[in-house]
Structure 1
Amino acid sequence: MSETALHHRPAELLQRLIRFDTSNPPGGERECIEWAMQLLESCGCDVQVVAQDPQRPNLIARLRGGGRAPGLLLQGHVDVVPAEGRWSRPPFSGDEADGYIWGRGALDMKGGVAMMLAAFLQAAEADTPPPG
């Protein structure tokens, strides 16, 4: 299945995001943001990276719609607090067990970012552009 078809597998998107160690401090989100940027570019989104610190970039992605409704802004973050030694599973593995995806940031907020990426990919794949 192609990278752009990942929206059919949002759990895999989440696992990939978790596997990037984006602990802050020190704040090293660059590799994760570059992966998301390439994914969004591959489906035709306009992307822009803005960064005061090259290791901590911000990604702005736009999927143009039909202009018949207001636009929609989705906002999230991929940095996580450092993992302490009390994990029962490796914190950056993205392991799936017992019906859950385990890892640092699964709930705050890489799970939300995975859903945002899935929404962008699904909208880009649709024959009809979003209304906004």
Structure 2
Amino acid sequence: MNVQTPNELEDMFYNFIKIFKELEPSNNSLVVYKAISLIKDKYEEGISLKEIANELNVTPEYLSSLFNKETGKSFTLYLKQLRIHKAQEYLTKSEMKSYEIGEKIGYTDPKYFTKVFKEITGITPPATYKKLNKTK
């Protein structure tokens, strides 16, 4: 890869770290590992615990209990945190409007996106976060 600017170098570094973390062995059971993989692949869609459980051939109750036990988070909280983390990336590295980012990460209702964003980050609206954290 031909890196020409500090931002390109930073992006390359973070991509390397992301790939490296994905290769780390997991302390999670195979079911939770697969659930997390499915969440990461489908967070942009309107996925649910029930859909993930069906795909893994387990009951939603079992997946919920195991997921919470192994990650220390509920399925819903994990999904919200992942989505908002992705939103933060879009807010700092793109010129997309908040509602567009909300739609891109799986929130079709801009008001609900703002509510969840504040719940996870403590900052509202997302535009305020963008102003405070915009990369140059």
Category of TM-score, reference length = shorter chain: under 0.3
- Greater strand fraction, Structure 1 or Structure 2: 1
**Which of 1 and 2 has greater Rg?**
2
Normalised TM-score (structure 1): 0.24
Q: Relative contact order (alpha carbons < 8 A, sep ≥ 6): 1 or 2 greater? A: 1
